[in-house]
Chains A and B, each alone.
Chain A
Amino acid sequence: MEPTPDLSHLTRRDYDRVYEPAEDTFLLLDALELDANALRAAKPQICLEIGSGSGCVSTFLAKILGPSVLYLCTDINFHACRCTFLTGVQNQVILDPINTSLDSAVRYRLVHGVDIILFNPPYVPTSSDEAEDAQEGRTIEGSWAGGFNGMELTNVFLERVEHLMSLQGKFYLVAVKQNDIEHIRRSMLHSYGLKSEIVLQRRAGREHLFVVRFTR
């Protein structure tokens, strides 16, 4: 069992601006823990977390896989990038944060080059306007506002992810029931030939959360 990363350096003031790890985050940690042996055995070189927020998830992954892996972490929120870096430092792992939307700055160079991709997206159904404003504002609202079906940003990434995945690549996506998991899985199979499995699911308050793993 890997311990949950030490986040004691982050304060209320950080969480006013950056997503505080919650049930969705912890479900993703549990999914990675379940897969830990397989992840290690595949000897990954590059991991990419989209929307790393506090940095909790990539730190946890870095504890599982060790230092001989590059951990790229993107977020549109500058404060999240800072927190991600500092959470790495606090836990003696090196994370490389990039302030960008999705994979925009790295996709040109990482064609079929990423071994592990993690994305806990803004998945809450909201109006499209709310999601757009949150994206433009690059603030904490962008942590949850997901627009129509909670899928507006996730859909953009789903169209891009196959292009990033290495031959042995694995992509972990957090979703909620309203996102229509079965529809996502079917369309990823039909459009990109990506197979998928539900690694874990859990009810937390009003949310029914899932972690889905996609592979070739």
Chain B
Amino acid sequence: MVRLITHNLLACHVKGCTSNNFPLEFKDAKLELREAEYNPEFIRGFLPKIEWKALVDTARQLGDTSLPLEQPEMLDDEFLKNLHHVLLEIHVEEGSMICPNCKHDYPISNGIPNMLLAEHEIG
């Protein structure tokens, strides 16, 4: 599965594709929701590693509008719970991820993101 916490760390790595290569855009995404243990300390600690705009835009594309466009300064429990859900409980099982720059298509099948490149695409 591709969870949004992982998606937020994936970038296109085709040779020469070094700007605007993140975030990858989901296409034909099939979602599954699976409950995960809520740990506010983990979510809070992870926040600095997240590219906020990429996360919010991606969640909205997938139909989840619970996150604010601007990262709030006050991290209250409601916010952390929404963030927990978006990062850890939305799983993309099938579909693909498209590079916004070079349009490379990274398929997801059986829950596994295929980020492999052909020899001539490797930098």
A residues whose Cβ falls under 8 Å from a Cβ of B: 43, 45-46, 67-70, 72, 76, 78, 81-82, 85, 94, 96-101, 104-110, 113, 136, 138
Contacts and interface: CB of A to CB of B under 8 A. Distances in A.
Contacts of A107: 13
B41 A99 contact: no
B83 interface: no
Nearest to B113: A98
Interface in B93-123: 110-117, 119, 122
A138 B116 CA distance: 10
Contacts of A138: 116
Taking each of B9, B11, B21, which has the highest tally of chain A beta carbons within 10 Å of its own beta carbon? B9
Contacts of A72: 6, 9
A108 B112 contact: no
Contacts of B49: 45-46, 113
Interface residues of B, number: 31
Interface in B30-69: 36-37, 39, 41-42, 45-46, 49, 51
A136 B11 contact: no
Contacts, number: 76
Nearest to A84: B112
B46 to A, nearest CB: 6
Contacts of A101: 116-117, 122
B45 A99 contact: no
Contact of B6 (A98, A99, A113): A98
6 contacts: A68-B42, A85-B112, A96-B5, A104-B13, A105-B113, A106-B9
B9 A99 contact: no
Given A67-B37, A109-B22, A78 B11 contact: no
A85 B111 contact: yes
Given A72-B6, A72-B9, A108-B11, A99 B39 contact: no
B97 to A, nearest CB: 10
B30 to A, nearest CB: 16
Given A94-B36, A98-B115, A138-B116, A45 B11 contact: no
A115 to B, nearest CB: 11
Given A96-B1, A99-B114, A108-B13, 18 more contacts: A45-B46, A68-B41, A68-B42, A69-B42, A70-B46, A76-B116, A78-B112, A81-B112, A94-B36, A96-B3, A96-B6, A98-B6, A98-B115, A100-B115, A104-B115, A105-B13, A106-B9, A106-B11
B106 to A, nearest CB: 8
Contacts of B45: 43, 45
Contact of B22 (A104, A108, A113): A108
Taking each of B6, B10, B37, B112, which has the highest tally of chain A beta carbons within 10 Å of its own beta carbon? B112
A167 to B, nearest CB: 13
